[in-house]
Amino acid sequence: MDYPANDARPLMMHIDLNSCFASVEQQANRLLRGVPVGVAANVSPGGCVISPSKEMKVRGVKIGRVRDALAVIPEARIIPSDPDKYFYIHKRFAELFREYSPQVVPLSIDEAVINFSGTLGLHQKDVVVIGREIKQRMTEEIGDWLTCNVGIGTNRFLAKLAAGLHKPDGLDVITHENLREVYSGLDLLDLSGINVRNKVRLVLAGLYTPLDFLDAPVWKLWKGVFGSVAGYQWYLRLRGWEVDDASYKRRSYGQQYAMHHFTKDQQDLSRIMMKLCEKMGRRLRRSENFATGIDVACGFDDRTWWHQTKKTGNTMYATVDLHTAAMALLTSRPPKKVTHLSVTCYGLSPVSSLPLSLFDTDLEARMRMADALDACNNRYGEYAVHPARMFGTTEEVVKRVPFHATTDTLSEIYNEDELELSPV
């Protein structure tokens, strides 16, 4: 069946903060304003600039090695990332967006989608007017150095595409009326979700431009290009129909860490593993689930990898349970220096599914203790109370900002009771 372009009123808004980390640093420090600034997780020459300021981007510097950025702009200021600042700004943004619609989906630390379906009656304003108002309020109420791009469309895909048309500080709308005009000025790689491999597939099928992609029949995309239902989804997505609002049940939680110092000492690895399990356990407990399986992986200094997984069948809820299971696997690793360490718990089930017992059990006591410790840390700060084995790990497994954050990772910095994010 052929579908025309969606001619409904565009009620999906994508908001993208420009040069998020660098702009927030410039907002916090006036001496950095107008100066090329690069935020890096590691400021050494081999580190990576994860957020170049608008001043750096104008001069051709994007995400990349610190040494490469300084080769182009020797006077650039390279500063370490400060996740607390960025999560605070994210929280302020989310609070502002929720004043306009309860349907706010955070896509990452600097991006969010607002669905205005059924809420425009609250404001009696056009979506474009609301977009301009949000941009103005962000500048006036959150930070005068912060700017954002706003894109509006009939689905998430077109809204995101519109948000990237005129950076920085743009506002664009894509509807069925200008859809072909917008596509005519883009490359296939400009479409969110199309990578180099997808482009090769499209080109081999004779689809060289977004307009070719748009005009391709659904059977060709399904059978000839993607070989799956993804072709049908792209057929609808390109025409402004929503196919990306599905939510999926979480199947696992995990943490990983690149070691600052390579080691094969069991005690060192146990301390770091405890902190990884504490972070992972906090997320697991916040979801009100327990795990029954554990997975551990290591990278070594000879660039080899080791991996082992086990479905324990035990109920793992408290940090100590996760750590015990993880270390049982880690002891069987090869005797080499570890450079990377990761742990994942899986086999999730809701805590409510556990059978009630007439008398207290050790498991129930550990679960209550874990909940009590989480409550203390929620109130008094992360790691205010922590396992003794984590002592001395202040500089290990430090807080980082994920590039594609989900609800649980964004809410790690503040309590969900304070700001309840919409599910992704």
What would the mean pLDDT of 272-278 be, rounded to a whole number?
Answer: 92
pLDDT digits (tens, 9 = 90+) for 346-355: 999 999 888 8
pLDDT of amino acid 12: 95
Q: How confident is the model at residue 37 (pLDDT cuts 50, 70, 90)?
A: very high
- Give φ, ψ of 310 to 5 degrees: -150, 130
What would the mean pLDDT of 283-291 be, rounded to a whole number?
Answer: 93
pLDDT of amino acid 84: 86
Q: How confident is the model at residue 261 (pLDDT cuts 50, 70, 90)?
A: confident
H helix or E strand, kind and range, residue 203: helix 196-204
DSSP 3-state of 127: helix
pLDDT digits (tens, 9 = 90+) for 168-204: 999 999 999 999 999 999 999 999 999 999 999 999 9
- Higher per-residue confidence, 63 vs 247: 63
pLDDT digits (tens, 9 = 90+) for 218-246: 999 999 999 999 999 999 999 999 998 87
Between CA 231 and CA 216 the distance in angstroms is 10
Task: Give the right CATH number for 1-175 from 3.30.70.270, 3.30.110.40, 3.30.2320.80, 2.170.150.70.
Answer: 3.30.70.270
pLDDT of amino acid 359: 56
DSSP 277-303: HHHHHHHHHHTTEEEEEEEEEEEETTS
Q: For residue 90, with 0-12 CB atoms within 10 Å meaning exposed, 13-18 middle and 19 or more buried, which class applies?
A: buried
Between CA 283 and CA 411 the distance in angstroms is 9
CA quadruple 395, 396, 401, 405: dihedral positive or negative? negative
Both tokens of residue 316?
A: 């793992």
**Angle ∠(382,388,394) on CA atoms, nearest 5:** 50
pTM above 0.85, yes or no: no
Between CA 70 and CA 72 the distance in angstroms is 5
| Contacting residues for 112 by C-beta, under 8 A, at least 6 apart | 14, 15, 93, 94, 97, 104, 105, 106
Phi/psi region, residue 124 (left: phi>0; alpha: psi -120 to 50; beta: rest), is left
**For the chain, percent of residues with pLDDT exceeding 70:** 88
What would the mean pLDDT of 392-396 be, rounded to a whole number?
Answer: 62
List the domain boundaries for the chain.
Answer: 1-175, 179-238, 253-393
Fold held by 253-393:
Dna Ligase; domain 1 (3.30.1490)
Q: How many other CB atoms are there within 10 angstroms of residue 135's CB atom?
A: 19
pLDDT of amino acid 415: 41
DSSP 3-state of 37: strand
What would the mean pLDDT of 40-45 be, rounded to a whole number?
Answer: 87
DSSP 3-state of 342: strand
